[in-house]
């Protein structure tokens, strides 16, 4: 007779039902759920049902903390001790034209701060740091832990994909969230981000939490809740964490895509670039320097004197890339022009992001290829006065069919009016554990 295995300590259907009616789960139940899911005892359909219940009913602070801890425990924990410099990480919740990681990491490396930046790929209307950097010939996103540490010792920074051993339960759960409409949830976003960041082993973390039309959480109150939740998770685990709330109602900078965002980042490293990209890069750099105990340093100096550019070249070359190689250029270009005159009130970040995605700069499903040359150049900002026929966007891609869809997405992206709108601060708030 076949011997029966020992019964599991909990019934997943009971836990789904309790959460569906807004009940709380215990630490032991959450630990079991995450472990049983990774072992295949809890089926993907069951975990999907639980995730949807969490989206609808949310979680209490203790549940979010316990879920984060369980996802950390599902894999390895890294350590960056022995580098001879503080390791401070940065994370953005994602937006349109958000290329800040590219200038920020070499800037911090040039100032004596190690940045172990584990980044992701784009999906939908938001771009991915790894997709941008793969525009550079030869550049590698996948590094071993030993290669990461070598980059941190020799260059001072690294930008790479998270290894398979870091919070693997989160990776499996995110794959389900992606296809079940359960991404936009504060408890799930917070636990997903912070499980990887805590397991990563940095000494401090600066979060860039976006709100506005181009963000995953458009409402500023939801973004503040997410920032507060993540800062508390960091404090609970002993990771010094601070968050900035930043405006993603308009695209960040001019370039939205992959190769064109790399070009714009290099402009910033050369001491130029769009004012908003420079402003946010420096704001995040100052927060990272404070966590590193170097608040007396002015990061703007490293952009002006070339130190950050030198670090960028070492960072690219250290991961197999050629910093002098020409970046991809699209075969097809088209200019979107104003159909009416007026003052630009708003440039809708989400519409621009969708346009770039439809041009081929993004992907609809994980694993889809991207067109590194595709993208949008935003030629106007709120407050600009335009006449009929003035250029609003420069659109580029390698496919005439994609060009039509991309241009259609941009048709209503610029809102015109009569009065000059009041300027909006790029950094709306700062959230700390205090």
Segment holding 71, helix H or strand E: helix 61-73
- For residue 400, give every residue at least 6 positions away whose Cβ sits within 8 Å of its Cβ, in sequence order, or none: 332
Active centre residues (catalytic): 91, 170, 177, 192, 196
Number of C-beta neighbours around residue 136 at 10 A: 24
Nearest-10 crossing angle of helices 220-237, 186-200 = 40
Supply 431's token pair.
Answer: 């959230």
For 88, 90, 121, 405, the CA distances from 289, given in Å and listed in that order, are: 8, 11, 27, 43
Q: What is the rounded distance in angstroms from the CA atom of residue 433 to the CA atom of residue 243?
A: 9
Q: On the CB side of 314, how many CA atoms lie within 13 Å of its CA?
A: 20
What's the rounded Cα separation, in Å, for the pair 277 and 272? 10
In this structure, are residues 208 and 280 in contact, taking their beta carbons and an 8 Å threshold? Answer: yes
Query: What is the C-alpha to C-alpha distance for residues 281 and 425, in angstroms, rounded to an integer?
Result: 15
DSSP symbols for 389-419 = T-EEEEEEES-HHHHHHHHHHTTTSEEEESS
Of the candidates 431, 386, 434, 432, the residue with the CA atom closest to the CA atom of residue 413: 386
Give dist(CA 129, CA 160) in Å, integer: 9
Name the helix (H) or strand (E) containing 117. Answer: strand 115-119
Determine contact, residues 211/222, Cβ cutoff 8 Å: yes
Please give the Cα distance from 253 to 2 (Å, whole number): 65
How many helices (H) and strands (E) the chain has is answered by 16, 13
Cα separation, 227 vs 241, in Å, equals 10
| φ/ψ (deg, to 5) at 317 | -65, -35
> What gap in Å lies between CA 110 and CA 294, rounded to an integer?
13
Residue closest to 260 by CA, chosen among 117, 102, 104, 423: 102
Tokens 């030198």 sit at which residue?
310
């Amino acid at each position: 007779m076949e011997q029966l295995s020992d019964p599991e300590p909990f019934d997943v259907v009971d836990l789904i039902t309790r959460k569906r009616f807004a009940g709380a789960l215990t630490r032991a139940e959450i630990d079991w759920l995450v472990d049983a899911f990774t072992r295949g005892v809890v089926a993907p359909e069951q975990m999907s049902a639980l995730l949807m219940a969490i989206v609808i009913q949310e979680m209490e602070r203790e549940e979010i903390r316990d879920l984060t801890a369980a996802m950390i425990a599902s894999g390895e924990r890294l350590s960056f001790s022995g580098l001879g410099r503080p390791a401070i990480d940065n994370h953005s919740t994602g937006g349109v034209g958000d290329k800040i990681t590219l200038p920020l990491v070499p800037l911090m490396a040039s100032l004596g701060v190690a940045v172990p930046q584990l980044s992701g790929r784009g999906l939908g209307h938001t771009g991915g740091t790894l997709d941008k950097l793969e525009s550079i010939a030869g550049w590698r996103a996948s590094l071993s832990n030993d290669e990461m540490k070598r980059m941190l010792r020799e260059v001072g920074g690294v930008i790479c994909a998270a290894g398979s051993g870091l919070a693997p339960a989160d990776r499996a759960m995110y794959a389900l969230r992606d296809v079940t409409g359960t991404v936009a949830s504060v408890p799930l976003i917070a636990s997903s981000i912070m499980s990887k960041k805590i397991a990563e082993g940095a000494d401090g973390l600066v979060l860039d939490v976006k709100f506005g039309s181009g963000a995953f959480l458009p409402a500023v109150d939801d973004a503040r809740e997410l920032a507060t939740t993540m800062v508390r998770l960091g404090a609970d685990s002993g990771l010094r964490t601070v968050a900035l709330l930043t405006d993603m109602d308009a695209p960040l900078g001019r370039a939205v895509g992959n190769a064109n965002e790399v070009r714009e980042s290099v402009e910033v490293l050369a001491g130029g670039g769009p004012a908003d990209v420079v402003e946010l890069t420096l704001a995040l750099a100052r927060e990272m320097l404070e966590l590193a105990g170097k608040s007396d340093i002015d990061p703007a100096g490293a952009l002006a004197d070339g130190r950050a550019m030198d670090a960028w070249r070492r960072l690219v070359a250290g991961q197999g890339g050629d910093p002098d190689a020409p970046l991809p250029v699209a075969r097809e270009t088209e200019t979107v022009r104003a159909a009416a005159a007026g003052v630009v009130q708003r440039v809708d970040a989400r519409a621009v992001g969708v346009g770039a995605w439809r041009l081929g700069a993004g992907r609809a499903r994980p694993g889809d290829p991207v067109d590194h040359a595709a993208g949008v150049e935003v030629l106007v900002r709120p407050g600009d006065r335009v006449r009929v026929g003035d250029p609003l966007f420069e659109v580029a891609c390698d496919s005439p069919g994609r060009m039509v869809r991309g241009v259609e997405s941009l048709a209503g992206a610029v809102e015109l009016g009569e009065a000059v709108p009041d300027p909006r601060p790029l950094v709306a708030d700062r959230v700390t554990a205090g």
